[in-house]
A and B are shown apart, each in its own frame.
Chain A
């Protein structure tokens, strides 16, 4: 009986897509509304793009970075975030799940908690909104910043995007862990995530040492876009580590996720002793 109740990887994958299908159906129930949200998110994200654009047409090049290189650097954040809200939206909405009692419902099911949290949400509107910004930036810059899109670089690019997604998911998960203790963590998350992301929009070399270390070791956004960009743009700084740089991103992602998952389990233990 025990064997029958264990889930295999194909079963979990199948169940994940059953969820995704239902989420897509729900989204289509409100086609107009959800599309409007995509447009709104697109506009909101364009604010910082416009700022960068305005600064760059005025100053042309800052510390060796020109407009296209800068926008290429920024595009990583959008593409990986777009993937993040598609796969890991549940981690983002975890706060609400705790408050609505959905978490308790998950605890009554024979599946892992984190699996259910991840599988039960996908934010198609945000995926589209952020994705559109990211793809526009990539299309605008991919051909003009001197990257040779051969197999090696394409694979490296995919590894960077996937790793970057997991890194951002882990950072979000840090703040969602706090939901096990306090109820409202919106600002705390903004603090941890969106501010770090704001820093990461520009090259790390613009910042004083403390912030650089912060973005490398504590909130490793440097691996989401800065280090990979150094590699793809063939910046002089890249010569020290060379071709391995892009593959650091998934490694950092995996390590970070493991660490945060430990914290998550600790939080869950607290939750099960205190409740909602």
Chain B
């Protein structure tokens, strides 16, 4: 059963056109000019309870506008949204009681006070019974190690600590759905891992529906079962992160370490993309050239000390999609 149901969602903006130069700014001072922009262009999708969905797309593609409409901050121009039986905008307060939101770049914690003060405040904001509140704090402390830093002013915390506290603050009231906006931005590898593990754990444990908007493909690959790519206000891909790799990652890269320096190796269908003497990178289309045959033909001719085979990186695939290098396949994107 779907928890979020979005139908023919459209959002238009009127923006003020600014001109350059002194004369230009004088002109827009006296006669402002406006232009209509369609940020979200007739999109529909549905999300099941407990699903983990990643929203990706280049800046200005319409993903944050979509999220703002899903959370009830913005009202759609047309189309409708139902989350758990409510309209997020017209039932804002009721809806807000059961959603959580994490913004990687903006904390909801009181900057000059220890995080525990914010938690205390949130207890009243969400009208939590004391027992429930204590139990949740206990869980978060166990999983995120909050106690180490919960009584230090937030401004003194490391980014990783702050993020952990922020995520806990967004989940304290047992929301049914949580929105994450760049939850791992600026974090180091270890901190990222902690955040991702925690998020997965909470999803399994409490069946919380989670939506991520992020530029970090790692977040999506490690946490999401499903990925929506939005570009120019439209959904251009809806499927699993794995599928997109299988379908669009045409190239593989083979890196060979030769014992001796080699030059001028030519194999049909294989492109040498980097040649550092001993170390050579070959790129080939995986459906046309078999990696095994390539390796065996190379070992026959040359002495090889080591090799690595790389699958195409999802990040590259996504970049190519943004740049228009890959056209979406009708069969894969049911909603295109």
Contact = CB atoms under 8 A, between A and B. Distances in A.
Q: Do chains A and B touch in the complex (CB under 8 A)?
A: yes
A101 interface: yes
Main secondary structure of the interface of B (DSSP, over half): mixed
B89 A272 contact: yes
Contacts of A104: 68, 73
Nearest to A102: B106
Interface string A102-141: 0011011111100000000000000000000000000000
B165 to A, nearest CB: 15
B117 interface: yes
Contacts of A273: 74-75, 77
A31 B14 CA distance: 45
A110 B97 contact: yes
Interface string A1-42: 010110100010011001100100110011000000000000
A151 interface: no
Nearest to B76: A273
B113 A25 contact: yes
A47 interface: no
B74 A272 contact: yes
Nearest to B89: A272
Nearest to A274: B13
Interface in A65-114: 100-101, 104-105, 107-112
Interface string B115-126: 001001100111
B93 A111 contact: yes
B73 A275 contact: yes
Which interface class (under 10, 10 to 19, 20 to 34, 35 or more) fits B?
20 to 34
Nearest to B14: A274
A104 to B, nearest CB: 5
Interface in B97-121: 97, 99, 101, 103, 106, 108, 110, 112-113, 117, 120-121
A47 to B, nearest CB: 31
Contacts of A7: 127
A5 B94 contact: yes
B72 interface: yes
A14 B124 contact: yes
B126 A110 contact: yes
B153 interface: yes
A18 B73 contact: no
Nearest to A270: B75
B194 interface: no
Nearest to B126: A110
B162 to A, nearest CB: 16
A112 B93 contact: yes
A56 B206 CA distance: 72
Contact of B65 (A110, A111, A275): A275
B19 interface: no
B124 A11 contact: yes
Contact of B71 (A25, A26, A108): A108
16 contacts: A2-B94, A5-B97, A15-B125, A19-B121, A22-B121, A107-B72, A108-B71, A108-B73, A108-B96, A108-B99, A110-B96, A110-B125, A111-B125, A272-B73, A273-B77, A275-B73
Interface of A: 2, 4-5, 7, 11, 14-15, 18-19, 22, 25-26, 29-30, 100-101, 104-105, 107-112, 269, 272-275
